[in-house]
Structure 1
Amino acid sequence: MSHSIYFNFIIKSDKFTVYKAVSEPEHLEKWWPLKCSGIPKVGETYNFNFTDKYDWYAEVVSCKQDDHIHFKMTKSDADWDPTTFGFNLKEKENGTCLNFFHKDWPECNNHYKHSSFCWAMLLNGLKDYLEKGVVIPFEERS
């Protein structure tokens, strides 16, 4: 049995801006990794660099501009390697509903629980970045 993380929340911004924030490296660096590279296109590889020790890679397995982007981890650690995560966007009258998932975790272990907490904190950082222009310094991100 695998385990999954899900979050749905509203960001007071349009889909175009939210999509850029979850798909373009220069925006991802504002709320998630220290350094990032990649192109939002199926089959392309993203590098999510957190430190020299955590220099991870993922492949874009599905994307549609201003709608969704999904990543399959290809080089990370034993817990993250089998996983896929993604962002699905729906335009609402009060902003964009971001539906986040991170699925196929092999175990409900401490790393899974810690990652679930970290995603909640990081996604709140994404919301603050888009709504208030706040960029939390990398060293202070959970």
Structure 2
Amino acid sequence: MAYSIHHDLLIKAPIHKIFEAITEPEHLINWWPLKCEGIPKENEDYNFFFTSEYNWYGKVIKLEKNKSFYIKMTKSDADWDPTSFGFDLEKQKGDVLIKFWHVGWPECNAHFRGSSYCWAMLLNGLKNYVEKGIVVPFKERE
């Protein structure tokens, strides 16, 4: 049995601005990793650098402009390697609903539970970044 994380949030911003924030490395570093490299295109690799101990990689498995962005982890740790995460974007009366998911967790362990909490906090950071231009310093991110 695999475990899954799911979070939904509304963002009051143009959909293209949100899509850039979740796909473009120069925007990702403002709410998630310390450093990031990658090209938003299917089958391209992304490097998510948090620290030298957490220098992780994933591959884009789906990209539909202003609609969806999915990553399959390829080099991370034992809990994250079998997982994939993604964002589905839907327009809703001037807002955008983000349906975030992170699936394929092998266990409902402390890492899984902690990652669910961290994703919730990071997605709130994404919302504040896109709506208000707020960048939480990396060391203060969950």
TM over 0.5: yes
Q: State yes or no: 1:111 paired with 2:111.
A: yes
Q: Quick one: distance in 2 between partners of 1:94 and 1:135?
A: 23
- In structure 2, what is the equivalent of residue 91 of structure 1? 91
CA offset digits 1:108-131 (Å, max 9, x no partner): 000000000000000000000011
> Number of paired residues?
142
CA offset digits 1:66-115 (Å, max 9, x no partner): 11100000000000000000011011113110010000000000000000
Q: Quick one: distance in 2 between partners of 1:43 and 1:135?
A: 29
Q: Quick one: distance in 2 between partners of 1:8 and 1:111?
A: 21
Which sections of structure 1, spanning at least 5 residues, go unmatched? none
- In structure 1, what is the equivalent of residue 6 of structure 2? 6
Report the identity percentage.
54
- In structure 1, what is the equivalent of residue 34 of structure 2? 34
Q: Quick one: distance in 1 between partners of 2:73 and 2:17?
A: 24
**CA RMSD, aligned part only?**
0.5
Q: Quick one: distance in 2 between partners of 1:134 and 1:53?
A: 27
After TM superposition, give the deviation of residue 34 of structure 1 in Å: 0.1
Paired AA for residue 59 in structure 1: K
Following superposition of structure 1 onto structure 2, how do residues 1-142 of structure 1 map, counting pairs within 5 Å? 1-142=1-142
Which sections of structure 2, spanning at least 5 residues, go unmatched? none
Q: Quick one: distance in 1 between partners of 2:81 and 2:99?
A: 21
TM-score, structure 2 length as denominator?
0.99
The structure 1 segments of at least 4 consecutive aligned residues displaced by more than 2 Å after TM superposition are none
